[in-house]
Every structure is written in structure tokens, then in C-alpha cells.
Homo-oligomer: A and B are copies of this chain.
Amino acid sequence: MWHISNEYSGECHCPLCQAAFRKWLKNKYHHIDAINHAWWTSFWSHTYSSFDQIESPSSLGDKGLHGLNLDWKRFVTDQTTDFMRHEIQAIRTSGAIQPTTVNFMEDYTGLNYYKLAEYVDFVSWDSYPAWHQQQDIMTAYDTGMQHDLMRSMKHKPFLLMESCPASPNWQAVSKIKKPGLLTNASLQAVAHGSNSVQFFQIRQGRGGFEKFHGAVIDHYGGEDTRIFREVTKTGIILEHLSKIAESRVESPVAILYDMESRWAMEDARGPRNQGLFYHETALKSYQAFRRNGLNVDIINMEQPLDSYQIIAAPMLYMFRAGIEEKLKRFVQNGGILIMTYWSGIVNETDLCHLGGTPHGLSDVLGLHSEEIDGLWDGEVNHFLPVNGNEPHLKESYACRHLCDLVRLQGAVPLMEYADNFYKGYPALTVHKYGSGHAYYICADAEADFYHDFYQRIITAQQIRPILDRIPEGIEVSSRVHKDFEYVFVQNYTDSTIDICLPDHIEILSGNYNGTISGYTTIIFQRKST
């Protein structure tokens, strides 16, 4: 395999790149008037009369044109992809026939990785979670979502290119891993679709910026270290799992998590300039699915939707690639759509949709958004259950940051706001459309809401979880191959936890006698259903 280059990133504003950008724009827009419209340049007197007047957005110039910023980011991705393709071409010309990969980074927003993924044979990435900062299960969910994002790009196994056997040296604090965590983290990658477990680095260098980056062999140099022993142990486990490489992950549900939409949303001014919490919001949907025992795909707007039973589309600010039509068909055909506030606001050049949002889906959702209230840090409202709501939601839940005020046009309110002048306004709604249902979450509700709400939907849809009754602190995931399913049960706490595994399973790794020990993994196989 060829690893084409390391962690592509950065952007260039040199005259050559500026020229290339103008050419890229000409190719996309053909005429300067099209740019003036797309970027709405008449506001604040930005109108261009020629492509030659366009400069890249930078701190030396103007970053106030959102459309320009957005196209610049697309261009940077295209330039990087182009560069990568030249690199690949070079090795191909020289006769190399091995597959290629390039390593991606966690939640990196400088590039649209989907574009690069098209041209390599395998996606790979470098996983450096900050363990032991929050509850480890939360870090496991966050890392799991990244694994699932990497896998979903090509819908096939990926590679864990880098991970740290001890602690990276560049995080705010270099925490060492508790015994067992290294193995857990390594096996989590496999559970989520990686066909490799690799470490950076085998041996610590004596100098340089990363001389204190954890390694299999440290400056001491011996094999008699805790790290070396745990790496060895992990390797022995992996040797017995080679057949899993043939399997793949199947997910009944997906989360729409789109980089272009994120670029535009986070660049915009309003409705909340001190934090929109996009990643955190998507993660709450992810956790809710996982805690309820489901594998999850993380897809963007260009990918097919038809294989899923539920699609969560949190904060889908930009509608592009015909997503409104695709979602409409998805619901029409029986799918469950879960949409939230601040969705369908702009088109692909960041021009606001007129006539009500989420754009083009009012008939599907049975509502449109009227106003959106930003909440100060620390300000809280609550979701209260509407009497007799169909999913039988009974609790109250805190919500923060953004509260959408919607006008119902057929949707049924399931929960309502508890406070402010919009007390009693809908906070969660449902609308039947075709054979499916479309839910709308009006505000940034706490994680428990997502857990409870998704549980009821999953139960109602009769989607089979990988395991029933998953205790807190345990992550469950699976891969399938023909007749067999490989199930990974991971304990991300330091306590032994009671857990009930199904009958007729074969334990491939780990110890099970009604419990799972702290920081250990049980892997079993069973017949696929």
C-alpha cells in the first residue's frame, strides 16, 4: 500500500493560487454577474466588475463575504485533491500497482474529505482522543462517531493509520492510559470497521517536536514496560481476529453530517456567534443511537439514503445536492426523518431561502420556522411533554443555545416549551407524510432527551438492537460477514459490570461470566439473523 502524504492541511494565498482560484471560479460561474448574485455582493458594496478583482479571503483582506469564503474552502479542497492525484499519478507512472491511502484527522474542518476519498483506495485516519478527560464512555462515543464517519465515506473498511500507545505530547495535558484502555481503543477501531490497528510511533526519537510522543518503545528502550506489554497483548488478540477483516459494518440508521453545510453555518453571523455546537449536537444523536444498540453511518448530503430506516439530520443549515427532494422521497417511502432547528436555511452558495424554512420540506414536516431565539451561555429552557403524546414521553428535558419558534401546518406537537413568552409553543413535533414520519426538534435539547426519544422511535419501528439493555459505560457495535455477526462489547469504566449476553454465542476474545471487567472487551460471534 502507498501512503500518499501525511495529514493534508493548510491553504495557500500566493499569486499562483489566487490565479488558480479565479480560474476555478470562472469555470464554475462563467460570468461575473453570476458571482455577484451568488455571493450577494451588492450588500456592503462588494460588486465585482471582473474576475480579476477577486482576491482570496484572508486576514490581509476581506473575510466578510460568506459566499467567497465558502467557494474558497471548496477550491482549497479541490487544489489539495488535485495535488494528491498528481502524487498518485507519479507512483502509477513509475509502475506501482499497490492500493493507495491518505490519512485524515479527527473532525478536521479545513478540507471536505469526501472529495479526497474518491481518489484513494482506502480511507485511513489518525485517532488521538483525549482519554480520561471526561467520562471515557463519552470519549468512546466521540471516537466511534469519527470511525463511523471514516467508514461511511467509502462504505467499506478503513484503516486506523495512527494511534498512540501511550499519550500524545501535543495535547494540553499528556495523560497516560489506564490499563486496558489501549486494547479497548484498538479494538474499537476494528469494531467500527477498521481493518488495521497501527501506532505512531514504534520508537521515540531523541529530539524534535514530538520527542515525548508516546511510543511502543520509549527512551528507556526496554521491553519491560507497561506500554510494551499492553501493545504485545493487543497484538495477540488481533492475531485471532483476522477473519473479521472480511466483514463489514451494517447500520440501520444514519446521521447527515455535512462539511459544506458546516462551513457555511459556522461562518455565518447569527443567530449565535459564541457557539452553535454543531458537532456536539450531532454527537447527541449518535450517542442516542449507540446507547440504544444500533450501528450508525455518518453520511453527507450526496450519499444515498434508501438503505436506512431512520435518518437524523441535525442543524442541516444548507440544503444542497437536492437533499430536500431526497428526504421527501425517503419519508414518502416509509422512512423516519428527524430534523432540527436551523435547517434548510440557505442554498449551496449561502443565499437564504425565501418563503419559509426548512426550505422545501414544510409539507413533509408540517410546519415552518418563524423565529429563532439565541440563549445566553447558562440560560436554559425546558421541553415538557404534551398530554397524551404518542411516543409517551414523560420527562422534562433542559434545552439551551437555540430555540426555534415554529408555526404548525399539520404537524402534531409532542413536547412544548416550559418558559419565556413562548411557553406552550411546540418544542417537538411529528408529521405523517406518505408512509413515513417526519419529526422536528425545535431546540438544543440535552442528551437524555435524545436517548429517550430515539428509544421510543426505534422500538416503534421494531429495529433490532445489537444487544438489549446496554448498561451505562458499555459500548456495543458489530460487523457482519455472510452468516456471522461479530459483536464487540466494551467496558469503558474501571468497574466490573453485570451484562446479559445472548445464548448461542461463541466468545472470540475476553472473559464473560455474567459480567464484563473494567476496561476490557468481549468479542463474540453469532449467526446473523
Contact = CB atoms under 8 A, between A and B. Distances in A.
Interface of A: 38-44, 46, 64-67, 133, 166-176, 178-179, 204-213, 219-221, 225-227, 268-274, 349-357, 368, 370-376, 405, 420-421, 494
Contacts of A374: 167, 173-176
28 contacts: A39-B207, A40-B205, A40-B206, A41-B208, A43-B209, A43-B210, A65-B209, A66-B207, A166-B371, A168-B270, A169-B271, A172-B272, A172-B274, A173-B271, A173-B273, A175-B373, A176-B374, A176-B405, A206-B354, A207-B349, A212-B268, A212-B270, A212-B271, A219-B355, A220-B355, A220-B370, A221-B354, A226-B370
A209 B65 CA distance: 6
Given A220-B370, A374-B175, A64 B209 contact: yes
A66 B206 CA distance: 12
Contacts of A351: 206-207
A220 B368 contact: yes
Contacts of A353: 219
A402 to B, nearest CB: 9
> Counting chain B CB atoms within 10 Å of each CB, which of A174, A225, A353 scores highest?
A174
Contacts of A273: 170-174
Name the prevailing secondary structure of the A interface residues: loop
A523 to B, nearest CB: 23
A331 to B, nearest CB: 23
Contacts of A204: 352
Contacts of A212: 268-271, 352
A352 B169 contact: no
A173 B376 contact: yes
> Counting chain B CB atoms within 10 Å of each CB, which of A133, A172, A178 scores highest?
A172
A219 B43 contact: no
A183 to B, nearest CB: 14
A357 B219 CA distance: 9
A509 to B, nearest CB: 22
A170 B270 contact: yes
Nearest to A166: B371
A225 B406 CA distance: 11
> Counting chain B CB atoms within 10 Å of each CB, which of A64, A178, A269 scores highest?
A269
A354 B269 contact: no
B355 A133 contact: no
A226 to B, nearest CB: 7
> Counting chain B CB atoms within 10 Å of each CB, which of A38, A169, A213, A350 scores highest?
A169
Contacts of A178: 420-421
Given A40-B207, A207-B43, A208-B43, A133 B376 contact: yes
A190 B23 CA distance: 54
B43 A272 contact: no
A269 B350 contact: no
Nearest to A518: B421
A356 B169 contact: no
Contacts of A371: 166, 176, 225-227
> Counting chain B CB atoms within 10 Å of each CB, which of A167, A270, A351, A374 scores highest?
A270
Contacts of A176: 371-374, 405
A115 B373 CA distance: 39
> Counting chain B CB atoms within 10 Å of each CB, which of A168, A175, A368, A371 scores highest?
A371
Contacts of A168: 270
A375 B66 contact: no
Contact of A173 (B67, B205, B375): B375
Given A206-B40, A219-B357, A220-B368, A211 B170 contact: no
Contacts of A173: 271-274, 374-376
Contacts of A227: 371
Contacts of A357: 219-220
B66 A269 contact: no
Contacts of A66: 207-209, 211
